[in-house]
């Protein structure tokens, strides 16, 4: 039978019940295997959160025991490596990977992840996130590529190509999932799943572009967002799912809801009275597969049988799903084969080292770095809650945070924490490393020791009386760290957040480092010993005081297995840091939003008690060399920027040339500048290169109130340079 008719023929033989089952995705981690087997016999479309023999059994039941023998698909959140499997390679978080600004690297990591996922048999990862993190209070900031639509779109497209390869039927290709559609990260107050108070014009202008790039890259699936857009839940949002996604972007894969969002229409967002209505609304709005709302099955059958929902909605959804299943060649190979032995293999681990290195961002250096022999360093104090905590280094979405039944939750080797990385290198250099925990990240994990011997100066150093009890409890730890540091020539302090301050349900109202971390910094700074602060965190934290008190600051976000090694290599100068921030850091929490591409305002855009400048801006990042820009030109015909970059330092380095555009006068207000292109360039000491970057037409466009995107003729400022900060950019003005 020709493939073209295969699916139509299959659909014509499916009962309403089988179509409803095909539209369902069953969470095995929740229902257990007994119930999962029943669903498999009904011919359920997909399962999630199951591995190993259980998965093989469910695949076999669907493919051999269900009436029509339609193979099922298994999905998993392999969002920074196949991280729910303890043996797999764990890469830096998406936010940390974004610091590389390296499309080739992101694609390579995605290919490796796909290979490991496929070797498990699984055909689908729920990645990448293309939401923008413009309010870092949002718990899922770590899962994004940062705050910018262009960078997110470029890296997202690379990731999708890495996951999906050339052909979905390849043994190492898995389906990617562009999520969460749409504007999910912009939820009011950074509160996960809340309403997004923006207009469709803004959606198109600011949040649609990365998803458009995902469709252009051929992404096979989309996931809806938990939240709502101007009061309309995304799972019930026909305008977004059918209008924007299908009609406008031309998406031809299938759409899965996020977890239990059909139930949320009833009991959370309260736009539907019961499961019958919610199932009808979900099907009509353009969802093809329903994740985890098992009530959908009976309810949707009821609605079709009562004539309340046209069966064609089910046909359409099932067709989308089966078409992708056919492209995966599931009828011949119900499970992927991958490459046996590839999970966590040496070459994959090497890529994790490379990714960790590229995710390190040097934010401040008064000359203390890199640590070299001649600097008379004999003893280094490594201090802090995140110096030796692999869970904090991994962040969200690993087998600790999202355990799949049967998987060990304890950290599995190989990995290198900062303490271990420092020891490895220091040993070779004859430098002694001493370690002290310092204090906890979470106030929940107090030191349980003896609270009697708190020196008076410790008590004074933390002035917040409301937290006095906590202060007392952690003082002995801080005291111990200070005593240890006094005997050392250098302090490497690792602070930040940890995995239970990131992810769903874990938004933060306060971005200052939690617990006693600021007190720890304050105490250590009174010792007048050079201090390098390393931030291991899921998001930008408020580091204003800490930066001032530190001689150097390194941002490492969640660096994955070898995050600690990369940090140590940067400290000792074995690598030249080259990461650039994909997100801005606020001076105080109340300064949020602080993303770089805001609309221009009057009155300087600042608060009376705070500057308008962020603490660190989008695109920033130092290295052990420095670059000079010259000769910026723009070719109007080819829309190509050309600029010369010279490495004026003494070390080879990689500079990320950033190009921004500002529409000088437009009929609707446009951002002060928008990233429009970037290119990494490797330069030896003293070397110059001319970099050419072709800009897309969209860089010069504006979305009008009627929601159309147009290019308005006139003047444009074109900037090129080292970061989004004006002082780092050269400018030419052109008329187009």
Helix (H, G, I), strand (E, B) or coil at 360: coil
Q: Do 476 and 436 form a contact (C-beta atoms < 8 A)? A: no
- Given 3-state DSSP classes, what are the helix, strand and coil percentages for the chain, each rounded to the nearest 5? 40, 20, 45
Residue with tokens 């190492």: 172
- Residue with nearest beta carbon to ligand NOJ: 126
Residue 126 Cβ, how far from ligand NOJ at the closest point, in Å? Answer: 3
Q: Is 258 annotated in the active site?
A: yes
Residue number, 504 or 728, with CB nearest to ligand NOJ: 504
Interaction between residue 700 and ligand NOJ (CB under 6 A)? no
Show the DSSP H helices in 538-583 as ranges: 544-549, 563-571
Residue 226 Cβ, how far from ligand NOJ at the closest point, in Å? Answer: 6
Pairing of strands 221-224, 177-181: parallel
The interface mask with ligand NOJ, positions 636-675, x = CB under 6 A, is ----------------------------------------
Interaction between residue 179 and ligand NOJ (CB under 6 A)? yes
For ligand NOJ, the binding residue among 150, 259, 446, 678 (CB under 6 A) is 259
Other beta carbons within 10 angstroms of residue 354's beta carbon come to 18
Interaction between residue 507 and ligand NOJ (CB under 6 A)? no
Residue number, 181 or 629, with CB nearest to ligand NOJ: 181
Q: Please list, in sequence order, all residues whose beta carbon lies within 8 angstroms of the beta carbon of residue 413, skipping any fewer than 6 positions away.
A: none
Rounded distance between C-alpha atoms, residue 89 and residue 116, angstroms: 8
Residue 198 Cβ, how far from ligand NOJ at the closest point, in Å? Answer: 20
Residue number, 126 or 562, with CB nearest to ligand NOJ: 126
Residue number, 258 or 518, with CB nearest to ligand NOJ: 258
Interaction between residue 206 and ligand NOJ (CB under 6 A)? no
Residue 504 Cβ, how far from ligand NOJ at the closest point, in Å? Answer: 6
Nearest Cα to Cα of residue 291 among 132, 439, 445, 77? 77
Quick one: how far is CA 432 from the chain centroid?
36
Beta bridge partners of 232: 229
Nearest Cα to Cα of residue 621 among 496, 728, 495, 491? 728
- Please give the structure tokens belonging to residue 664: 């000088």
- Please give the structure tokens belonging to residue 465: 């009386």
DSSP assignment string, 309-332: S-HHHHHHHHHHHHHHHHHTTTTT
Residue 77 Cβ, how far from ligand NOJ at the closest point, in Å? Answer: 5
Cα 483-485-488 angle, rounded to 5 deg: 125
Rounded distance between C-alpha atoms, residue 89 and residue 119, angstroms: 13
Residue 258 Cβ, how far from ligand NOJ at the closest point, in Å? Answer: 5
Interaction between residue 572 and ligand NOJ (CB under 6 A)? no
Interaction between residue 77 and ligand NOJ (CB under 6 A)? yes
| Burial (0-12, 13-18, 19+ Cβ within 10 Å), 70 | buried
Residue number, 197 or 504, with CB nearest to ligand NOJ: 504
Residue number, 30 or 730, with CB nearest to ligand NOJ: 30
Residue 261 Cβ, how far from ligand NOJ at the closest point, in Å? Answer: 9
Residue 259 Cβ, how far from ligand NOJ at the closest point, in Å? Answer: 4
Size of the site for ligand NOJ (CB under 6 A): 6
Residue 88 Cβ, how far from ligand NOJ at the closest point, in Å? Answer: 16
- Please give the structure tokens belonging to residue 489: 């020539």
Helix (H, G, I), strand (E, B) or coil at 216: helix
Residue number, 156 or 438, with CB nearest to ligand NOJ: 156
Secondary element (H or E) of residue 177:
strand 177-181
DSSP assignment string, 406-452: T---S--SS---HHHHHHHHHHHHT-EEEEE----SSTTS---S--S
Interaction between residue 126 and ligand NOJ (CB under 6 A)? yes
Residue 222 Cβ, how far from ligand NOJ at the closest point, in Å? Answer: 12
Residue number, 125 or 393, with CB nearest to ligand NOJ: 125
Nearest Cα to Cα of residue 414 among 263, 232, 562? 562
What's phi and psi for 503, nearest 5 deg? 95, -175
Q: Do 142 and 394 form a contact (C-beta atoms < 8 A)? A: no
> How far from 546 is each of 520, 541, 551, 566, 725, CA to CA, in Å?
10, 10, 10, 22, 22
Other beta carbons within 10 angstroms of residue 330's beta carbon come to 23
Interaction between residue 258 and ligand NOJ (CB under 6 A)? yes
Interaction between residue 557 and ligand NOJ (CB under 6 A)? no
Active-site residue, from 258, 260, 389, 507: 258
Residue number, 30 or 610, with CB nearest to ligand NOJ: 30
Q: Please list, in sequence order, all residues whose beta carbon lies within 8 angstroms of the beta carbon of residue 456, skipping any fewer than 6 positions away.
A: none
Residue number, 223 or 516, with CB nearest to ligand NOJ: 223
Q: Which residues are catalytic?
A: 258
Q: Which positions touch ligand NOJ (CB under 6 A)?
A: 77, 126, 179, 258-259, 504
């Amino acid at each position: 039978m020709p493939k073209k008719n295969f699916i139509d023929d299959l659909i014509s033989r499916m009962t309403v019940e089988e179509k409803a089952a095909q539209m369902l995705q069953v969470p095995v981690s929740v229902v257990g295997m007994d119930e999962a087997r029943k669903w498999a016999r009904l011919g359920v479309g997909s399962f999630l959160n199951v591995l190993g023999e259980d998965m093989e059994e469910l695949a076999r039941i669907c493919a051999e025991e269900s009436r029509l023998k339609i193979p099922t698909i298994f999905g998993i959140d392999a969002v920074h490596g196949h991280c729910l499997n303890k043996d797999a390679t764990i890469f830096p978080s998406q936010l940390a990977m974004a610091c590389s600004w390296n499309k080739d690297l992101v694609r390579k990591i995605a290919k490796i992840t796909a290979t490991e996922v496929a070797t498990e048999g699984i055909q689908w990862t729920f990645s990448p996130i293309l939401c923008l993190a413009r309010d870092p209070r949002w718990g899922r900031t770590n899962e994004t590529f940062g705050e910018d639509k262009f960078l997110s779109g470029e890296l997202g497209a690379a990731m999708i190509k890495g996951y999906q390869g050339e052909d979905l039927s390849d043994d190492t290709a898995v389906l990617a999932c562009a999520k969460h559609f749409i504007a999910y990260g912009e939820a009011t107050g950074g509160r996960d799943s809340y309403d997004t108070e923006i207009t469709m014009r803004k959606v198109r202008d600011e949040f649609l572009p990365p998803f458009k790039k995902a469709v252009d890259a051929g992404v096979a699936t989309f996931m809806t967002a938990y939240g709502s857009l101007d009061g309309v839940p995304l799972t019930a949002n026909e305008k977004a799912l059918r209008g924007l996604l299908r009609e406008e972007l031309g998406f031809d894969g299938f759409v899965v809801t996020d977890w239990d969002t059909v139930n949320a229409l009833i009991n959370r967002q309260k736009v539907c009275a019961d499961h019958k209505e919610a199932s009808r609304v979900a099907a009509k709005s353009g969802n093809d597969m329903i994740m985890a709302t098992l009530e959908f099955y009976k309810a949707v059958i009821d609605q079709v049988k009562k004539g309340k929902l046209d069966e064609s909605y089910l046909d359409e959804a099932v067709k989308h799903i089966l078409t992708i299943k056919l492209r995966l060649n599931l009828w011949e190979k119900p499970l992927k084969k991958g490459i046996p032995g590839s999970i966590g293999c040496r070459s994959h681990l090497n890529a994790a080292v490379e990714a960790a290195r590229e995710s390190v961002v040097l934010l401040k250096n008064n000359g203390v770095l890199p640590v070299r022999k001649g600097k008379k360093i004999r003893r280094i104090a490594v201090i802090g809650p995140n110096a030796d905590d692999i869970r904090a280094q991994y962040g969200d979405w690993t087998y600790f945070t999202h355990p799949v039944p049967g998987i060990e939750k304890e950290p599995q080797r190989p990995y290198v924490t900062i303490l271990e990385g420092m020891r490895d290198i220091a040993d070779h250099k004859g430098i002694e490393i001493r370690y002290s925990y310092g204090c906890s990240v979470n106030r929940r994990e107090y030191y349980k020791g003896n609270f009697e011997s708190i020196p008076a100066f410790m008590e004074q150093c933390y002035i917040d009386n409301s937290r006095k009890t906590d202060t007392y409890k952690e003082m002995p730890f801080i005291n111990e760290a200070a005593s240890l540091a006094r005997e050392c020539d250098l302090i490497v302090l690792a602070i930040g957040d940890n995995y239970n301050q990131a992810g769903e349900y874990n938004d933060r109202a306060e971005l200052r480092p939690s617990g006693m971390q600021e007190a720890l910094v304050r105490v250590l700074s009174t010792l007048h010993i050079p201090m390098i602060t390393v931030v291991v965190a899921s998001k930008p934290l408020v580091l204003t005081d800490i930066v001032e008190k530190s001689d150097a600051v390194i941002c490492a976000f969640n660096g994955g297995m070898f995050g600690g090694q990369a940090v140590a290599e940067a400290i000792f100068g074995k690598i030249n840091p080259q990461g650039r921030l994909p997100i801005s850091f606020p001076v105080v929490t109340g300064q949020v939003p602080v993303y770089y591409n805001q609309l221009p305002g009057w009155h300087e855009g600042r608060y009376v008690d705070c500057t308008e400048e962020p603490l660190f801006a989008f695109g920033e990042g130092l290295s052990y060399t420095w670059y000079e820009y010259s000769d910026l030109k723009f070719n109007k015909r080819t829309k190509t920027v050309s600029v010369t970059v010279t490495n004026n330092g003494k070390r080879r380095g990689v500079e990320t040339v950033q190009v921004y555009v500002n529409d000088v006068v437009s009929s609707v207000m446009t951002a002060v500048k928008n990233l429009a292109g970037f290119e990494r360039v490797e330069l030896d000491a003293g070397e110059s290169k001319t970099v050419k970057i072709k800009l897309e037409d969209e860089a010069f466009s504006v979305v009008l109130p009627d929601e159309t995107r147009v290019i308005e003729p006139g003047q444009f400022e074109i900037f090129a340079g080292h970061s989004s900060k004006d002082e780092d950019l050269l400018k030419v003005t052109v008329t187009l």
